[in-house]
Structure 1
Amino acid sequence: MGADYVAIPWEGSAHPHAAGVAPLAAPTGLALRGFGIYVGLDEATAGAAGVDIGELVDDVQRALTGIPGAETFASVVLAPEGAQVAALEAVRTALGEPSVHRGSALAARRSEGVVVDLARHRVSVDGEPVHLTYREQALLTHLVRHQGVIHERRALLAALAGGDEPDEISERTIDVYLQRLRRRLAPYGDVIRTIRGRGYRLDPHPDVAVIGAAPGAPAAP
């Protein structure tokens, strides 16, 4: 029997809502087993700061292996000199980070489930394109970029800032837009969960593939 492994994007203190986010908790049925940190840093930039990348990797590993029972593995990514690609993107692609490498391949052949293409602002359900309104797209984009986080209505309302007719939407009408979004994602609408008394959350789910822009990057639906 195979096991399903999922990764929850987490930006820590860089997360725009970090101050109001509860401690990281695994979705129901899953348990936290470790974490990965992708660091994009080219030799020239590191050298200018007086940092040796090899020594830095050793220092990080030593810090983590000091935790009893911790197991670590490190990979250093090489790329052609002068390559016109962001260092972090090169690292994430080379190491097969799910939302960059595996996600694109999955979406190319996937005929079931929900595929959210953040870069192209496209959504499909079971291989068929789904047309979302600006606000529905904005809500879905916000939820998939911050999977595992519980969002109060106020936070979701802020995610819609910049849309048309801003005075016509209130915290209560967020419920209406989410209901519409769930209907458009049917039969997978329940991937958007209601957390009673707290708000809404989208957990990593095998029926949902997210491709395109990196988690946490700004979007313009």
Structure 2
Amino acid sequence: MPKKPFRPTKQSDLRALVSIHDVMPETREQVTTMLLKLAQQAPQLTPPFITLLIVPGRQWSQSDLAWLHALAQAGHPLAGHGWSHKAPLKRTLYHLLHSLVLSRDAAEHLSRNHHELRQLVLDCFNWFHHYGLPRPSLYVPPAWAAGNLGIRQWKTLPFAQLETLAGVTDLQSGHKYKLPLTGYEADNAFRAISLRLFNCLNIKRARKSGAPLRIGLHPFDLDYRLAQNALSDLTLVDRFCQYSELH
């Protein structure tokens, strides 16, 4: 049966897109544990509805790659997530402020020129083909910070969709889906308070608009202060969606 395309509604039903960020060899244990807990706590959240954001430029062993192949074969969509997930040492003032407020050392796209960014995105895409993995259609820059590439430049790159803090852009049509977002990477009290408020507002926004809520998980979230909130928010969802439905 063909997938039903995404259409915004005014219904109160909550729909959601779920992704796990920072999937790399260093987080293999945490991602595996998270997937097991999600299967237990939200059994309706099956692999096709959990998009895995892969960081290619790490030290992937044969065992790690076999694990990734098994996840893809189980039905998990794979997405590109930068290259190294590590920001350059030389940073602009904006990047320094962004690091303090949001991204810490993760905003890999910021402070890079157009040529560097284009090569980084191409390297990310080509890595999947090199290791026989499904070619991803979605690209999510680390910390959702896309950097200095404009829509015309993105259109020349092989990804079909780009996700940023504001939402998801269809890179062929240029259409931008403004989608609410929740996050749970609360490793200190300030982040816990801020994210709890941010998430509450965005869940209300999703219900009011009918647009899918993006639930962005990170490997250590179920060990942090909002672990129970993350699991509880998943139980609020009436229907899980795929990024490929956004057309």
What TM-score does the superposition give when structure 2 sets the normalisation length?
0.32
Larger relative contact order (CA 8 Å, sep ≥ 6): 2
Q: Which has the larger radius of gyration?
A: 1
Q: Which has the higher strand share?
A: 2
Q: Which has the higher helix share?
A: 2
What TM-score does the superposition give when structure 1 sets the normalisation length?
0.34
